[in-house]
Structure 1
């Protein structure tokens, strides 16, 4: 069983403004939390650098905070729909942090972990938005240096009802963070490789140099992984993987996944050339190539379907083929359109302007219905009814085949990671029903959030069908919350919401907490407990009905009588004291405390002063003997001749008596 370590930042308030609510993810350099901006009342993401990445001021990395701050200011000026916005920055307990836009969705790494690989349409749609964000950074003079699926966030579409990944919104995060850490390194760390080795460009391995073409290489590797479900190289050690980028060419995706169009191989190959000069100059140039490739794939797929219709006089039920939907420039959002000039659109390979051109309209003879009319007109008169009947039957069969094969299906929406309420709302908008499987514990997914779904997102589902959701029960081990001081009903609700069983213990009187308020719990607050643990809640009964009187200074006899009259039980202990014997010198509970009838009250009683030894003064001159006794605190009574010699004393020598006991001496 995994043990969840308590995070001390949860619930804390940063800069008097950002209340940390939960932990989203923990990476190699930083941890990301969700937080509430209590000033603007909005949810944000807070990324805090790990203590191991924030160096001691005396170390060679002392400039980290300043460089991190400078990078944050530069990133904050980078405004683009596909870039995770940066709102604020600062330090908390010596650790730098960024306050960023909170993107509701998953990382591309999570998507690939679930789907393994994407179809070309989805891979190109994600690549377009990813390159749009990186291209904006390149135009602002920034190089990302760490492009990888973990830094690409896939959020739900603006419409709130995205059917598949093509409709999702992609945002890129962590611009400049690797550069801030890398720039703070010492000379010994100067060659430290900050990018993830699976996506690192060869020039970063050999000489540590990075420019926009470095990001293009990494984006090409990400596209390769989306198409094939794996990265180009692996090895036992990170350094072995890194040097494979230097020594080998990235293979074409179609060598691993058969049937991929050749244009996708060309895109990956162009972006991952080992020589930087052979790649597109920056993300904007690579974006132009990706968009034109996507248009070409869509156009080719459309043409192939037309040919299949025109080649057959009687249409047949066609099997589904993989086709990439064409995206016209006018259909793209403004931030994703190809930049155009007065002379035409950008070149596919260099980004330079091409001569303007238009698609030629298909000649009349290429129209499938025109061809069908010509063939019907040329048919012998006696066969026309038969051909018409065959055409009608074929059309009916085609329509029925389309309906049962495709038309009655829709695409399953992405519901994983949503709360139960959000999932129900999105399923309702899509016209789908929900059913729930047995929930499961999960250390990362919050309670009552969707842990899994069946069918999976982007799979086919019958319109009006049912999706089975598995909800999370949260972690199966959690810290015992502190409910002391809460009303019982509120404390019980809090504990049961965490999956804990609540039982009432024996209520106790308390001078500070009113009746009905939680006085104590077992287990104690902060103790790690399993879900389902039985928690005993002790409630306060308020102040007890009897007030303990002040007994100090009274004789033990008087104190005993006063307590017995109140129905309380005296318990006496004796000790030496300079106070008179049998005088009460202490009590517990203290006076003014409240107790119930029959309670014990402990009394400390004086045994009197410790005895002292009477010295010998016999045979001393009477004045000298008197002086010795008085010097030790004994009152002296002289009998007979005050100027004589001491012949007897009472008490006698070496007797143990109470301090201040009178001593009689007889002098002759």
Structure 2
């Protein structure tokens, strides 16, 4: 009472249409309210999702709302009398909600809390309708993932009156809700298990993988609980309970309730095999087996004995006001029948037995058996009925099944071609990385190859994304601790390489990586980072234009080593043309400084002018680029020249001519 008063949603109007009237229940993922649809004037149920870890959950709410909306659209397309109908969806206060059919009744959990365990007829009647709902979801490509008594609603019979479990209508809720929440949790927490551990299938614990056989396992545990009054495993911690499903076989129900018939043990055992391939392929296949078990229990002799033994066992237990009728399957009222038929045959009203009727039957028997033709007709009818029963049994037990083809390791195109030839429908789950299977090849199939599957059934494939390749994150310019965390998040191993000085980045900052940033690598690859030591202590001077000897002297005083190389140039010989590192660069003591040095201009030979008149000698020298210096008698004859003839000198070298 106090919690409802404190609930701020009570009395509020959602989306201008749904007036919240009362709170029905609050679970781990959502709160359920009754509401009035003021537009259509009907009572509905409104399920509002609440964040599991506020405020962290709100940071991923946008993606969750999108997934939740997609799931809601898929669920809304399910039209089945045993599925809680979904009418509408939206968000309120940033939290997604579903508007669903309001079922008047109570959950199977409430029934078990009151009754402890159910009679076999009651358990199978509820299981059949529960499996019919789940089978409809499987045909639509949905996996419930969280089958448990809390999600099974037992509605009141339409005729009202005494609440009879065999006559009640069962509806299953929350299709797809666990998947939407789990997908959001995987992004935030990394493959967090969202199923209820008491009913979780082994493959969900070990691999996080769910398919129709996962729901078959959970339905088997629910049937076990209805028959025995308890779940097969318990423990101090949820993780201990979950791993018992992986490590242990579910015990036969008769080990806890000895009076239960073996056919129920076999049914539970088949549904709860630890190997998914050993279970019925989907809820429809398990439904067929449950109906067969119910028909077997419907035998008048064995059925009465079973009910009597169970009633005797439970006599000391305080019984509720719910009345349990020993109703055979064919006597189930019309509103509780399964839409597929599923072995349920319509019954006819029989006249009350009387002496006249008994006499008529005896007379008919006498007439038939009294003539050869009558006896032959009876024998033929018996043979025909036997053949029909045998063929029908073969068809439902084996004939409609075949074996799944081997599709693992095939390419997607080849797998689709082989499935088409076999008449199978393919469904794809999220692809996964694999180091050995090439990209777009089949990594996993369900059912496995050679497993039994209905002809024309659905095979679920998981394709490979090939070896996982991750680009090396760009951590250059970041502090080492930040770079280390970012590389570790990318599943890479971090190692430090030798640090070096850098003029721009301070000490402790990443200068480079090996492999380089952006290189595609496998998870676990070692990435060596080079860190900055900050600016070096010695600044390289400007040496360009200086003479080589001067440059050597300057570098020697700074403790730096010149590395000399010569090249042709018009600059004077031994003049510094370039340097590396450039001036202003920081280096440490002993660092090398590369110097480019001029070889000087290319030399040319001096022409011979001796014995030429002085004026002519001057013209020859100057025409070839040599300035002429005439000494003594300008009108005389050249007797000496310096440099001498053919002496190699730089262009433009002055030549002295002595004229006499």
In the superposition, the TM-score normalised over structure 1's length comes to 0.48
Structure ID, larger Rg: 2
